[in-house]
């Protein structure tokens, strides 16, 4: 728009200013009484200035809703919505007012679209500091005719009862928004199960995919995290009339927190930490991919990658705009229709099957077991037009009909992974086109090869000069060009691992050195700062740290080059493939010690203390001799703000993050000590601490709390050991390691030992006392 002052435009602006000034004047206070109405940008504010009620529009949506949000929280966070499913477009001609003894929302054509529906007389609506919007008789201060606390949307505030009314046999429900820009009810909800004193999270009102476990007097059984935070007081109250969960925060003015059924399908507890923003204290289920059918039909969920959802090969996103809003529920659709019903086709044109490895199979209730041997499984599926996929095992053949839901891609070699064959149109497999292009390519290629050679020669000569110059700048680090790394990794074809910061690929340099190349994503650093940080990381060298040997920085392309570790990550040995060589106890002990020594170096011996921030079995690599090497250190500074965003969005409290991380206070090296302790539990058990629900839905105890109780009661520590070791371990060492892990995972960081002490204990130079049970693991046992 041209910025010439147009008199008519000016008048409009003035008129607008006048109007908004005028309308803002009309209302104030915390009450909508009989003669008042709320419209446009008007709001009411609770008496203590905690909550605001008014029209809002979520994100880029043009739709307006009546909602409630925090006054103090700078980022508008809506915690309650009146007209979830019936938005208005023009907030200035819509009104919220008292009408016929109700609080009613009228749309642009003065049609009521939302009402409290109690039909009383002389009422008024008051917004309370608790976040409760109440409708009551004008003179009365006690009897509430209606309250928003009884009509929850997706958020539970402190002080609000959440449960089941035994008289009306009705339970309350928190239902997620459809997506961050649409408050209409989404697919995920949490509801009480009064008979079990527990809560379940459901998909589409039917399929349960998470349970809190029963209330045991202090906490819900599967939520040991509940006892970590001193700022909350959780209770579950049962009487003749009702049973409900309620929580409070110790200082409501200081602590702003809520429980929200998030659009991600996880129940989250965010805490407001100014000025950083909302910090999610915990999420359930702990793993994003444990949310049922998160990625919709034919979508596949992969933990530890962003985004979590992707379409199977041969499928495309049903709605790109939904996916952009992180609403994956629409899933994916076929690029090419199946040919099944067309019996005239020659066999080469019949549907074929795509082989998918390491999949967690879709719900087995949706599959039927067919009594044929695995060899004829494929033809059984092919000959049944409603069959969309099959899997076969030693027990026979499973076939799926209808859309495939809840697919999960596990890491290569994961124990629970299976191979799934998904039906696709034959044309998806055809390679004819490609080979034609190849021929043309070759022809053109050979014609221009002489020219190319000349150009390449010139470029290489110039580049070599540049590299030589750059090498001097960056000390021992080699600066690679993107092309060189592309070539070394065969165009990034052999992926070693992935993560929030980027994927890692195997590569071979022209001099036959094997390298691991990490492609950084979303890096927020400028060129100069990036080089400075990389230079710092390059100078950190220790036998228990993975050496950075080079990097590439070409515009937005930022890559790090590391020594290749031939035995992969600790995670791949602990959690994958039952039969591949199991790490014996001696090796595990050496890995615990090596990792501790690497961390001591980072924490205490470097010029600047480096906090790793992301210690987990994926980041402990093993060289040819199974010597442990800590990988990925220094990334916190390199990635800048992106680092903590990725950490919290990827893992929340899943497993390794110390409580102080999540509470938003300053992080010290003791946060690494905590993560190290959590990792040691996994080193002992050979399974993930987060693995609570096994596949049959049978529930085992949270491993860290099991260890602590056994250690403290001098119970059978050998029973804690990875079953694959068949009891082969030094009992004394095992006891010591368990005790150390308990010390490392104390809630209070001052109770955790520094890593140098951990090394001394492991080396046998320091006695390990009996640890107190970390509060967060403490399990109330009724018998
Ligand atoms: C509402 O308006 C009527 C008429 O204008 C007036 O008599 C009455 O006192 C008003 N009520 C309130 C609560 O302001
Ligand atoms: C107001 O709501 C009614 C009933 O839902 C609807 O028919 C009408 O189109 C709405 N008016 C506008 C302007 O959207
Ligand atoms: C209130 O009145 C409306 C319209 O007369 C009616 O449809 C509704 O059922 C009434 N609600 C109650 C709770 O009485
Ligand atoms: C959810 O359930 C309803 C019936 O209860 C069904 O019509 C709908 O298709 C389901 N939604 C999805 C995404 O499957
Ligand atoms: C926690 O909340 C319950 C129920 O509201 C209350 O009875 C109890 O006194 C509270 N405890 C603390 C320590 O505030
Ligand atoms: C239960 O409800 C009855 C009336 O429905 C009431 O008299 C009684 O006080 C209630 N009990 C409790 C514990 O609230
Ligand atoms: C709550 O925190 C605020 C701000 O820190 C403080 O001023 C107030 O005294 C605290 N109230 C209580 C009851 O501790
Ligand atoms: C299959 O072939 C038969 C006979 O040639 C023909 O009548 C029929 O239309 C064909 N069906 C399809 C689906 O092409
Ligand atoms: C296809 O398989 C399903 C599941 O086993 C079965 O219910 C259905 O009858 C089969 N259809 C045909 C045509 O065989």
Does ligand 2 have an atom closer than 6 angstroms to the CB of 110? Answer: no
- CATH code of the domain containing 622: 1.10.510.10
Binding positions for ATP are 519
The CA distance from 118 to 99, in Å, is 11
Same domain, 549 and 575: no
Distance 107 CA to ligand 2 centre (A): 6
- pLDDT tens per residue, range 217-236: 888 888 876 765 667 888 99
Same domain, 354 and 397: yes
The count of structural domains within the chain is: 4
In a domain, 380, yes or no: yes
Distance 601 CA to ligand 2 centre (A): 68
Taking the CA of residue 90 as reference, the ligand 2 atom at the shortest distance is: 13
- In the predicted structure, residue 107 carries a pLDDT above the cut 90: yes
- In the predicted structure, residue 465 carries a pLDDT above the cut 50: no
- pLDDT tens per residue, range 351-379: 888 888 888 888 766 788 887 777 788 88
- In the predicted structure, residue 772 carries a pLDDT above the cut 70: yes
In a domain, 35, yes or no: yes
Taking the CA of residue 370 as reference, the ligand 9 atom at the shortest distance is: 5
Residues 6+ away with beta carbon under 8 Å from 152: 80, 160, 162, 172, 173, 174
Choose the residue to mutate in 204, 332, 363 for probing ligand 4, maximizing ligand atoms within 8 Å of C-beta.
Answer: 204
The CA distance from 603 to 600, in Å, is 5
Q: Which domain holds residue 379?
A: 299-429
From atom 12 of ligand 4, which residue's Cα is the shortest distance away?
Answer: 204
Confidence of residue 54 (pLDDT cuts 50, 70, 90): very high
Same domain, 315 and 347: yes
In a domain, 387, yes or no: yes
In a domain, 175, yes or no: no
Taking the CA of residue 252 as reference, the ligand 7 atom at the shortest distance is: 1
Confidence of residue 272 (pLDDT cuts 50, 70, 90): confident
Proximal ligand: closest to the CA of 380 = 9
Q: Given this model, what pLDDT does residue 770 score?
A: 83
Ligand 8 pocket (Cβ < 6 Å) reads 342, 344
Q: Given this model, what pLDDT does residue 655 score?
A: 63
- CATH code of the domain containing 487: 3.30.200.20
Q: Given this model, what pLDDT does residue 178 score?
A: 93
Ligand 1 pocket (Cβ < 6 Å) reads 33-35
Distance 80 CA to ligand 6 centre (A): 28
Distance 254 CA to ligand 7 centre (A): 6
Question: Which whole number is the average pLDDT over 650-676?
Answer: 70
In a domain, 161, yes or no: no
In a domain, 661, yes or no: yes
Same domain, 657 and 770: yes
Ligand 4 pocket (Cβ < 6 Å) reads 204, 329
Q: Given this model, what pLDDT does residue 777 score?
A: 58
Taking the CA of residue 119 as reference, the ligand 3 atom at the shortest distance is: 1
CB-neighbour burial class of residue 546 (10 A; exposed 0-12, middle 13-18, buried 19+): buried
Distance 229 CA to ligand 5 centre (A): 14
In a domain, 501, yes or no: yes
Same domain, 491 and 377: no
133's enclosing H/E stretch is strand 133-137
From atom 13 of ligand 5, which residue's Cα is the shortest distance away?
Answer: 233
Same domain, 586 and 674: yes
Proximal ligand: closest to the CA of 345 = 8
Write the DSSP assignment of 715-769 as a string of letters.
Answer: --GGGGS-GGGTT-S-HHHHHHHHHHHHHHT-SSGGGSPPHHHHHHHHHTSS--P
The CA distance from 618 to 414, in Å, is 13
Choose the residue to mutate in 164, 167, 241 for probing ligand 6, maximizing ligand atoms within 8 Å of C-beta.
Answer: 241
The four Cα atoms 372, 378, 384, 390 give a dihedral, to 10 degrees, of: 90
Q: Given this model, what pLDDT does residue 304 score?
A: 65
**Chosen domain end from 563, 578, 605:** 563
Distance 453 CA to ligand 6 centre (A): 90
Does ligand 2 have an atom closer than 6 angstroms to the CB of 113? Answer: yes
- In the predicted structure, residue 109 carries a pLDDT above the cut 70: yes
Q: Which residues are identified as catalytic?
A: 614
From atom 1 of ligand 5, which residue's Cα is the shortest distance away?
Answer: 233
- pLDDT tens per residue, range 470-512: 443 345 788 899 999 999 999 998 888 776 677 899 999 988 8
In a domain, 9, yes or no: no
The CA distance from 711 to 719, in Å, is 11
Q: Given this model, what pLDDT does residue 14 score?
A: 43
Q: Given this model, what pLDDT does residue 555 score?
A: 83
**Chosen domain end from 563, 592, 616:** 563
Q: Residue 54: what are its φ and ψ, rounded to 5°?
A: 180, -170
705 or 349, higher pLDDT? 705
Binding positions are 519
- In the predicted structure, residue 175 carries a pLDDT above the cut 90: yes
């Amino acid at each position: 728009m041209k910025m010439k002052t147009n008199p008519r435009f000016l008048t409009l602006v003035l008129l607008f200013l006048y109007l908004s000034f005028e309308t803002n004047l009309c209302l104030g206070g915390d009450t909508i009484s009989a003669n008042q109405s709320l419209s446009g940008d008007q709001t009411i504010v609770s008496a203590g200035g905690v909550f605001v009620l008014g029209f809002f529009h979520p994100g880029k949506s043009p739709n307006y809703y009546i909602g409630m949000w925090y006054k103090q929280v700078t980022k508008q966070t809506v915690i309650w919505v009146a007209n979830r499913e019936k938005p208005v477009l023009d907030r200035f001609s819509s009104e919220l007012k008292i009408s016929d003894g109700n609080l009613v929302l009228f749309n642009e054509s003065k049609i009521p679209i939302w009402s409290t529906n109690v039909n009383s007389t002389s009422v008024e609506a008051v917004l309370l500091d608790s976040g409760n919007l109440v409708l009551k008789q004008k003179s009365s201060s006690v009897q509430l005719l209606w309250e928003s606390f009884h009509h929850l949307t997706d958020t539970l505030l402190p002080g609000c009862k959440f449960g089941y009314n035994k008289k009306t046999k009705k339970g309350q429900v928190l239902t997620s928004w459809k997506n961050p820009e649409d408050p209409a009810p989404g697919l995920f909800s949490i509801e009480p199960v009064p008979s079990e004193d527990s809560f379940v999270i459901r998909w589409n009102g039917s399929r349960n995919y998470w349970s809190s476990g029963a209330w045991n007097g202090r906490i819900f059984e599967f939520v040991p995290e509940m006892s970590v935070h001193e700022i909350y007081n959780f209770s579950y109250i049962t009487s003749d009339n009702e049973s409900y969960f309620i929580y409070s925060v110790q200082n409501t003015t200081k602590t702003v927190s809520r429980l929200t059924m998030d659009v991600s399908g996880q129940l989250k507890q965010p805490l407001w930490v100014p000025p950083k923003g909302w910090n999610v204290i915990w999420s359930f289920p702990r793993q994003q991919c444990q949310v049922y059918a998160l990625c919709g039909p034919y979508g596949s969920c992969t933990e530890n990658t962003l985004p979590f959802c992707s379409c199977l090969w041969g499928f495309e996103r049903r709605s790109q705009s939904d996916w952009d809003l992180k609403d994956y529920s629409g899933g994916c659709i076929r690029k090419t229709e199946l040919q099944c019903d067309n019996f005239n086709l020659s066999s080469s044109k019949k549907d074929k099957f795509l082989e998918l490895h390491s999949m967690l199979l879709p719900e087995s209730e949706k599959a039927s077991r067919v009594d044929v041997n695995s060899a004829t499984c494929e033809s059984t599926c092919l000959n049944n037009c409603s069959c969309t996929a099959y899997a076969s095992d030693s027990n026979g053949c499973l076939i799926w009909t209808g859309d495939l839901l809840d697919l999960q891609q596990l890491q290569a070699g994961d124990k629970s992974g299976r191979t799934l064959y998904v039906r696709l149109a034959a044309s998806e497999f055809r390679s004819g086109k490609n080979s034609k292009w190849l021929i043309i390519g070759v022809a053109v290629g050979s014609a221009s090869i002489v020219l190319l050679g000349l150009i390449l020669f010139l470029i290489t000569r110039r580049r070599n000069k540049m590299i030589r110059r750059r090498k001097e700048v960056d000390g021992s680090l080699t600066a690679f060009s993107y092309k060189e790394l592309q070539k070394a990794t065969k165009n990034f074809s052999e992926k070693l691992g992935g993560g929030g910061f980027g994927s890692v690929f195997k590569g071979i340099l022209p001099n036959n050195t094997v390298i691991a190349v990490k492609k950084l994503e979303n890096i927020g650093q400028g060129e100069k700062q990036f080089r400075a940080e990389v230079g710092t990381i390059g100078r950190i060298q220790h036998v228990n740290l993975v050496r950075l040997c080079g990097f590439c920085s070409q515009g937005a392309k930022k890559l790090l080059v590391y020594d290749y570790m031939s035995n992969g990550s600790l995670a791949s040995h602990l959690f994958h493939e039952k039969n591949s060589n199991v790490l014996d106890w001696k090796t595990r002990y050496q890995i615990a010690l090596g990792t501790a020594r690497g961390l001591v170096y980072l924490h205490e011996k470097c010029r600047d203390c480096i906090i790793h921030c992301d210690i987990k079995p994926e980041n402990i690599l093993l060289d040819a001799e199974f010597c442990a090497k800590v990988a990925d250190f220094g990334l916190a500074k390199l990635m800048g703000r992106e680092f903590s965003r990725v950490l919290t969005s990827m893992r929340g409290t899943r497993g390794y993050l110390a409580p102080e991380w999540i509470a938003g206070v300053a992080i010290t090296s003791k946060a690494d000590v905590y993560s190290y302790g959590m990792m040691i539990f996994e080193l002992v058990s050979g399974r993930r601490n987060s693995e609570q629900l096994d596949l049959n839905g049978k529930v085992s105890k949270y491993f860290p709390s099991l260890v602590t109780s056994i250690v403290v009661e001098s119970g059978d520590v050998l029973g804690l050991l990875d079953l694959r070791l068949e009891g082969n371990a030094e009992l004394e060492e095992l006891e010591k390691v368990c005790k150390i892990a308990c010390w490392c995972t104390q809630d209070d960081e001052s109770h955790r030992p520094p890593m140098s002490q951990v090394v001394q204990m492991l080396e046998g130079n320091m006695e390990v006392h009996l640890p107190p049970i970390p509060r967060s693991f403490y399990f109330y046992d009724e018998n």
